[in-house]
Amino acid sequence: MADLSQHLLGTDFQSPVLLASGTCGYGQEYADLIPLDEIGGMVTKAVSREPREGNPPHRVAETPGGMINAIGLQNVGLERFRLEKLPWLRENLRVAQVLINVVGHSAEDYGSVVSGLDGEDGFLGYEINVSCPNVKDGTLFGTDPTALSALVTRLRDLTERPLVVKLTPNVPDISLYARICEESGADGLSAINTFPGMLIDVEGRRPVIGNVSGGVSGPAILPMGVYLTWRAASAVSIPVIGIGGIRSGDDALQYILAGASLVQVGTALFVDPASAVQVQAGIADYMERHGVGRLPEIVGGLTLPEPR
Ligand X SMILES: Cc1cc2nc3c(=O)[nH]c(=O)nc-3n(C[C@H](O)[C@H](O)[C@H](O)COP(=O)(O)OP(=O)(O)OC[C@H]3O[C@@H](n4cnc5c(N)ncnc54)[C@H](O)[C@@H]3O)c2cc1C
Smallest separation, CB 246 to ligand FMN (Å) = 5
Any contact of residue 255 with another protein (CB under 8 A)?
Answer: no
- Per DSSP, the three-state class of 62 is strand
Q: Which of 18, 68, 132, 262 is catalytic?
A: 132
Dihedral sign from CA coordinates of 153, 155, 158, 159: negative
Single out the segment in contact with ligand FMN by CB under 6 A; choices: 26-34, 50-58, 111-119, 242-250. 242-250
Measure the CA–CA gap between 58 and 165, rounded to whole angstroms.
29
Nearer to ligand X, 67 or 235 (CB): 67
User: Beta 200-201 vs 206-207: how paired, if at all?
Assistant: antiparallel
- Residue 24 appears among annotated catalytic residues: no
Q: Mapping DSSP to helix (H, G, I), strand (E, B) and coil, where does residue 67 land? A: strand
Residues 49-88 that bind ligand X (CB under 6 A): 61-62
74 near another protein (CB under 8 A):
yes
Q: 160 touches which of ligand FMN, another protein, ligand X, none (CB within 5 to 8 A by kind)?
A: none
Closer residue to ligand X (CB): 55 or 168: 55
Q: What are the start-end ranges of the E strands in 15-159? A: 17-19, 41-43, 60-63, 66-69, 97-102, 125-129
Half-sphere exposure of 299 (CA within 13 A, CB side): 23
The total of other beta-carbon atoms located within 10 Å of residue 189's CB is 28
Does 45 engage in binding with another protein (CB under 8 A)? yes
The amino acid occupying position 234 is: S
Interface residues toward ligand X, by CB under 6 A? 61-62
- Active site residue ranges: 132
Interface residues toward ligand FMN, by CB under 6 A? 20-23, 45-46, 69, 71, 73, 101, 129, 132, 166, 193-194, 217-218, 221, 243-246, 265-268
